[in-house]
Structure 1
Amino acid sequence: MTSLYRLDASAGTIAAAFDADAGDDPWTGDYVAPGRPAPVIVSDGRSGSRRFLRPRLWGVPPPPQGDRPVTAVRNLESPFWIGTLRHAELRCLVPVTAFSYWSGAAGARRQHWFSVPSQRVFAFAGILRQGEDWPCFAIVTTEPNRLLAHHQPKVMPVILHPGDHATWLGGEWRAAVALAAPFPSQSMAVGEAPPV
């Protein structure tokens, strides 16, 4: 799973892209890594009709056997996650402008940045949990598409089509989980630097 993404847009731009209320979020654009705060889009629950930009930490508390925060969720049938997914108010959109993976042989590894050219700011599917001190989030993952598989990742973030945002935020949980599929390769781009 990626451990770095960029969100190079202001809170106002992000809110406009997702028809959300930015409130007083101070986000002006930066990179996001595990343990750092970043804005996510949350809704008012079942209806998903009102959306809000809220700061959350990347990385939810681990399951009972774990010892590190969980940044990516893969097994959506796990009892640990299924209870969360059943509650629409615990799902979120994670705004992104590009995300990275490293690939290549040892000593010759290179960073690659993936984006969705048709969407300046796109969204990962995310889930919310309450951390020890702060609310936090994790990114839902799935099998890699052909483009990402070429660069060796074993999983990729679930990138949501704009028409699926409402289902992820407020739909019945089985319909939301059905969205966990690889994003089409032909709709993505890859480069050695994040898009400007």
Structure 2
Amino acid sequence: MCNRYRMSAKQAEVASHFGIDPALIMPEPGPLPPPELFPKRSAYVVRDDDGVRTLDIMRWGFPPPPRARAPVTNVRNLGSPFWRAALNRPDRRCLVPVTEFCEWEGEPGSKVERWFNLPASSLFAFAGVWRPTEDGKAFAFLTCEPNPMVSAIHRKAMPVILNPEDYESWLNGEVESACSLAQPFPSQLMSVR
């Protein structure tokens, strides 16, 4: 389960990559998200707001279901009623800008962090969902079966990485076609360090 990633791109690069009008990116009151991201922290999220692509700041982690205690950061079971409400509504789908993500390798007590990125693009996106909460907006991102590169380090899952040509389909497509994008990203288009 991916619970650490980085987003070190500047706002102008994010605007260009995701098709956001730079004039719509206003400095938020208070601190901007840090480049190193963990659950319960604020991060950038791209979403459509009445047909206009916007850059938003949200907290990472959905409020948990009744029997759980920790926020839910990764969407694994797309058929779960817990996620269906967000997945069925295009206005609750989002893109999570990322420059690299981390998985841990090794035995407990001697684990080493491994960082994955896309050499052809310094900025990419996870498929995400969001919802309003009493404490503001919160998001989580989808995971899927890992590709061979990721599974060598983390066998359970990897984030759903979208190709730029699939951003619109994820944000505004019918639920079945949007969820069909939850596929392992090709290993040959990634690197790890």
Matches of 1:106 and 1:60 in 2, distance apart?
27
Gaps of 5+ in 1: 192-196
Pick one of 37, 55, 58 that aligns with 1:56.
58
Q: 1:107–1:65: structure 2 CA closer, same or farther, 3 Å change rule?
A: closer
**TM-score, normalising length: structure 2:** 0.92
**TM-score, normalising length: structure 1:** 0.91
Matches of 1:9 and 1:152 in 2, distance apart?
26
Which residue pairs with 1:20 in the alignment?
20
Secondary structure of the residue that 2:26 maps to in structure 1?
coil
Secondary structure of the residue that 1:183 maps to in structure 2?
coil
Q: 1:135–1:28: structure 2 CA closer, same or farther, 3 Å change rule?
A: closer
Secondary structure of the residue that 2:178 maps to in structure 1?
helix
1:28: Cα distance to partner? 7.5
Pick one of 83, 86, 99 that aligns with 1:84.
86
Matches of 1:166 and 1:67 in 2, distance apart?
34
Would you say 1:8 and 2:2 are equivalent positions?
no
Aligned residues: 188
Q: 1:19–1:29: structure 2 CA closer, same or farther, 3 Å change rule?
A: farther
Secondary structure of the residue that 1:118 maps to in structure 2?
coil
Pick one of 30, 34, 57 that aligns with 2:39.
34
Secondary structure of the residue that 1:65 maps to in structure 2?
coil
Matches of 2:108 and 2:63 in 1, distance apart?
32
Deviations 1:130-181 (A, max 9, x none): 1221101001100010000001341100000111000001111111000001
Pick one of 170, 189, 192 that aligns with 1:190.
192
Q: Quick one: which amino acid aligns to residue 165 of structure 1?
A: Y
RMSD over aligned CA atoms reads: 1.5
Structure 1 residues 68-77 or 101-110, which shifts more? 101-110
Instruction: Report sequence identity in percent.
Output: 44
Secondary structure of the residue that 1:168 maps to in structure 2?
helix
Matches of 1:164 and 1:147 in 2, distance apart?
22
Q: Quick one: which amino acid aligns to residue 17 of structure 1?
A: H
Pick one of 173, 176, 195 that aligns with 2:175.
173
Which residue pairs with 1:44 in the alignment?
49
Q: Quick one: which amino acid aligns to residue 141 of structure 2?
A: I
Gaps of 5+ in 2: none
